[in-house]
């Protein structure tokens, strides 16, 4: 019941933010959500005994996210990532005593910047596309990931027998993955019928399959970090849903893949 109540609050807020909110409002909300997810990732790494620089990492992660908006001050993603690669090792050599501790601080500070900030920054890149295209693509991404995740859960719970990645997530099954792909394809065609009529059936099918598979990879990647930290959820922020990172993990791989699918297959002409 708590899970459904939380979802009933989050879904309309998310829809309004992605589809109707002015871009500066969307950007502010996205920065807050991705910032929380980044901080939760640092919490998971600290739980396993690492000593990153979370405040610096959070600032650099948000700089990466900001870079995808194309606003002043204008920073490119490669600028922000390069800054992180230069600054973090220097700080680690200054603040840590042993080479092992220095190296640990470097990679554990960099990981959330790349794993969360860089990947989820592509949601900003999608929304920043001109006209209705950006909001349509972002909403399509969310619909596909949500229906894929829901279908994977119910199919896996009902008929899942063959475990997909028991060392990372013991409950996930190949049957659940198949159900998730079917849910992602359904989500893509729901998007075509609801708000994205220009998308052809062929592109809808391809996007549904790609996004659902990439959503599963992102989910497993976050589960890997949680498993290494000995945690079930990234935090207890959202009742019944875990933390912000738990809610956004399906976008970690799916958002960049959809963005580059658009650039390669859809940007030259109307879909």
pLDDT in tens, 132-158: 888 999 999 999 999 999 999 899 888
Nearest CA-CA partner of 133 in 3, 5, 259, 6: 259
Return the ∠ at Cα 66 (arms to 64 and 69), rounded to 5°.
120
Cross-strand partners of 173: 163
Contact 96, 33 (CB under 8 A): no
Q: What is the pLDDT of residues 178-201, one digit of tens each?
A: 999 999 999 999 989 888 888 899
Could you give the CA distance from residue 183 to residue 35 in angstroms, rounded to a whole number?
A: 29
For residue 151, the model assigns a pLDDT of 93
Residues 6+ apart with CB under 8 A from 43: 234, 235
Alpha carbons within 13 A on the beta-carbon side of 51? 10
Q: What is the 3-state secondary structure (H, E, C) of 178-215?
A: HHHHHHHHHHHHHHHHHCCCCCCHHHHHHHHHHHHHHH
User: For the stretch 61-90, what's the b/e string if a residue is b when 16 or more beta carbons lie within 10 angstroms of its beta carbon?
Assistant: bbbbbbbbbeeeeebebeebbebbeeebbe
Place of tokens 């792909």: 181
Confidence of residue 5 (pLDDT cuts 50, 70, 90): low
**Whether the predicted pLDDT of 8 surpasses 70:** no
Rounded Cα gap, residues 105 and 204, in angstroms: 42
Q: Which residue has the tokens 């610096």?
A: 56
User: What does the block give as tokens for 193?
Assistant: 């019928």
* pLDDT in the model for residue 89: 96
Q: Is the pTM of this model over 0.85?
A: yes
- The pairing of strands 163-165 and 169-173 is antiparallel
Structure tokens at 198: 């220009």
Helix, strand, coil percentages, rounded to 5, for the chain: 75, 5, 20
pLDDT score of 46 more than 90 = yes
Give the DSSP letter of residue 117.
I
- What is the per-residue pLDDT across 213-229, written as a single tens digit (0 to 9) for each? 999 999 999 999 999 99
CA 44 – CA 188 distance, rounded (Å): 33
Summary count for the chain: helices (H), strands (E): 11, 2
**What is the torsion angle, in degrees rounded to the nearest 10, for the CA atoms of residue 98, residue 100, residue 106 and residue 110?**
-160
Task: Mention every residue, 6+ apart, whose C-beta is less than 8 A from residue 38.
Answer: 57, 58, 61, 62, 112, 113, 116, 117
């Amino acid at each position: 019941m708590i899970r459904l109540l939380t979802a009933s609050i989050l879904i309309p807020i998310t829809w309004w933010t992605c589809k109707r909110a002015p871009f500066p409002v969307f950007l502010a909300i996205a920065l807050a959500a991705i910032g929380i997810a980044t901080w939760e990732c640092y919490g998971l790494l600290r739980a396993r005994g690492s000593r990153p620089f979370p405040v610096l990492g959070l600032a650099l992660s948000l700089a990466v996210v900001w870079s995808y908006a194309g606003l002043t001050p204008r920073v490119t993603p490669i600028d922000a990532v390069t800054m992180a690669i230069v600054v973090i090792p220097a700080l680690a050599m200054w603040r840590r005593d042993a080479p092992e501790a220095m190296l640990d601080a470097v990679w554990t500070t960099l990981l959330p910047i790349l794993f969360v900030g860089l990947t989820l920054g592509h949601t900003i890149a999608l929304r920043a596309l001109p006209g209705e295209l950006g909001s349509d693509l972002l909403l399509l991404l969310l619909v596909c990931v949500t229906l894929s995740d829901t279908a994977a859960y119910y199919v896996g719970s009902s008929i899942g027998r063959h475990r997909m990645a028991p060392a990372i997530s013991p409950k996930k099954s190949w049957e659940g993955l198949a159900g998730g792909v079917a849910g992602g394809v359904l989500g893509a065609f729901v998007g075509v019928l609801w708000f994205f009529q220009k998308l052809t059936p062929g592109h809808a099918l391809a996007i549904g399959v790609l996004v659902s598979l990439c959503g599963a990879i992102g989910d497993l990647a976050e589960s890997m970090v949680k498993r290494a930290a000995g945690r079930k959820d990234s935090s207890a922020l959202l009742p019944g849903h875990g933390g912000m990172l738990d809610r956004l993990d399906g976008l970690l791989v799916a958002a960049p893949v959809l963005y580059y699918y658009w650039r390669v297959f859809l940007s030259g002409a109307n879909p």
